[in-house]
Amino acid sequence: MELRHLRYFMAVAEELNFTRAARKVGIGQPPLSNQIRDLENEIGAALFRRLSNGAELTEAGKAFLPEALAILLQAERAKQSAIRAARGQSGRLRVGYTSSAVFNPVVPAIVNAFREKYAAVGFSLEEAPTAQLLERLEREELDAVFIRPGSSDELQIRCRLLAEDPMIIVLPERHPLSEAQTLRLDALAAESFVLFPREAGAGFFDDITAACRRAGFEPQLAQSAPQITSIPSFVAVGLGVSIVPAEMAKINVPGVRYIAIAGEAPAARWRSPPDVTSALPSFEISQLRPSPRRKAWPTTIRSPNRSRLRLPSAFPSRPDRVRGHS
């Protein structure tokens, strides 16, 4: 029994006329009658009672009808499922991101656009420091991560820059310099710093340290923050000062002031096109391969052993196998 037999049976059952059913399926009436007879012989029961003006279903035919329809519908679902998988429109996407990623509007936009366009794709988000994200990406526990690597980071993955965000100074509200509109980094030479631990985000830590050294001083670490989003709270209680991406100013922590850096300043690099929606067709998840160094917050995508999955480039702060850096 083949699917064509079921399709021929359904055509006759709908038309209750062999001639009209033959026209419907695009074959001659004699070949259609032969196919139905072959099906009846295989089942061992007549499915139709032939009449002078057409045909009618037998009791066996009535019992066979819903089952045949279910098989044909399931076959069509299987076909569509395979087509979606081949186009990268089904399956599951496991995305990692760092805690600061959500503060850049590009990442949420990409996530939302992807979920709207690929509703059939299962989707999960996991937050972790950059180092952990990269390790999990290598172990294929994540498909994509959003990261913000430092300017000296060597990433053996294919990346896409989403945005470039200036870094700003965070001071306690009662700090003597908190009323300034801008500050040079060397104004912080005598201060104690609250920073994200280097082992969790070497690029971010090293970029800030390098900027301070260029300003003529070595930053003195007073307190490590478990994640970058904790830094403003630590500064607010007087544990030190810090330097963070400007998007972090969206964290409305009482007791802190965010101040622009005058002169040369480090940048949190996470590029995105001015119009996110215009970039949707160009965003794509591609296989992990060695790539030239990228100095920005990229979406990094890796899919060894998987079909390429096209994604929109509008994820909220971060997105296919994409790497995320905190």
For the stretch 32-89, pLDDT in tens is 999 999 999 999 999 999 998 899 999 999 999 999 999 999 999 888 878 877 776 6
pLDDT at residue 157, as a whole number: 67
Spatial distance between the Cα atoms of 74 and 326, rounded to a whole number of angstroms = 45
For residues 166 and 261, the answer to whether their CB atoms sit within 8 Å is yes
Return the bridge partners of 167, or none.
Answer: 245
Phi, psi angle pair for 52, to nearest 5°: -65, -30
Helix, strand and coil percent figures for the chain, each rounded to 5? 40, 25, 40
Which two structure tokens, joined as six digits, stand for 219? 């930053």
pLDDT at residue 89, as a whole number: 66
Stated pTM of the model? 0.50
CATH of the structural domain 92-326, one choice from 1.10.1740.110, 3.40.190.290, 3.40.640.10, 3.40.50.2020: 3.40.190.290
Instruction: List every span in the chain annotated with CATH 1.10.10.10.
Output: 3-86
Instruction: List every span in the chain annotated with CATH 3.40.190.290.
Output: 92-326
Q: Is 60 exposed, middle or buried (0-12, 13-18, 19+ CB in 10 A)?
A: middle
For residues 227 and 196, the answer to whether their CB atoms sit within 8 Å is yes
For residues 38 and 32, the answer to whether their CB atoms sit within 8 Å is no
pLDDT at residue 154, as a whole number: 53
Spatial distance between the Cα atoms of 258 and 243, rounded to a whole number of angstroms = 9
pLDDT at residue 150, as a whole number: 55
Spatial distance between the Cα atoms of 211 and 244, rounded to a whole number of angstroms = 12
Fold entry, domain 3-86 = Arc Repressor Mutant, subunit A (1.10.10)
The ranges of the chain with pLDDT < 50 are: 151-153, 270-326
Task: Give the 3-state DSSP-derived string for 149-169, with helices as H, strands as E and coil as C.
Answer: CCCCCCCCCCEEEEEEEEEEE
Which two structure tokens, joined as six digits, stand for 196? 């994200």
Q: Which residues contact 245 (CB under 8 A, 6 or more apart)?
A: 100, 103, 104, 148, 165, 166, 167, 168, 268
pLDDT at residue 277, as a whole number: 30
pLDDT at residue 225, as a whole number: 87
Which two structure tokens, joined as six digits, stand for 158? 């294919």
Rg (CA), the chain: 31
Element (H, E) at 64: helix 59-86
Q: Where are the beta strands (DSSP E) in 134-285?
A: 144-146, 159-172, 182-184, 192-195, 220-224, 242-245, 256-262, 267-271, 284-285
